Amino acid sequence: MSKLLFSTAFAALLLTAAVPEIRALADRFATPAPEPDAVAAAAPRPSGGTRLGDVVVPADASGHFRLDARVGGVRLGFLADTGATTVALRAGDAAKLGIRPAPTDYVVPVTTANGRVMAAPATLDAVEVGAIRIAAVEALVLPDAALAGNLLGMSFLGRLGRVEVSGGRLVLSP
């Protein structure tokens, strides 16, 4: 019963935030993801306006912030998206983490650039970006066809001390 209540509340929150983002998501995914070597290294580095432990991610050519994160010890590529209520994982990447929702687990309605789909709620043990580690991160698993890439949404970003975009870079602080 509590899982159903959680899923329903989670879906309502997700849909409330997702409606204005549909067009923005379409634009974000219109550009191909860079090769893994081109993805910003998610390692803490001190520089102007940052502190030791901060993660600095430069914008790519399209102005998006792509980075790698470790989830359950597995390195995955993400697009940092403050407009996404939660971390969103493609089903194929979720499977690499051992998360394989049953068809009946897809109970959260989500609207994406590709239309309305059902997503499966999941809790990630921990998400690590550089020296930043956040435990028990809520996520949604979407069919691969519904999502061009994984989104590092507010269920992770909202738990950081600071998320700032300045001078063509994203600064994440623990």
Which range marks the domain in which residue 138 is found? Answer: 2-173
- Total domains in the chain come to 1
Show the 3-state SS of the chain: CHHHHHHHHHHHHHHHHHHHHHHHHHHHCCCCCCCHHHCECCCECCCCCCCCCCEEEECCCCCCCEEEEEECCEEEEEEECCCCCCEEEEHHHHHHCCCCCCHHHCCEEEEECCEEEEEEEEEEEEEEECCEEEEEEEEEEECHHHCCCCEECHHHHCCCCEEEEECCEEEEEC
**What string of pLDDT tens digits covers the 174 residues of the chain?**
444 333 433 443 343 344 344 334 334 433 344 444 434 444 444 444 667 789 999 999 999 999 999 999 999 999 999 999 999 999 999 999 999 999 999 999 998 877 899 999 999 999 999 999 999 999 999 999 999 999 999 999 999 999 999 999 999 999
User: What is the domain-level CATH number for residue 66?
Assistant: 2.40.70.10
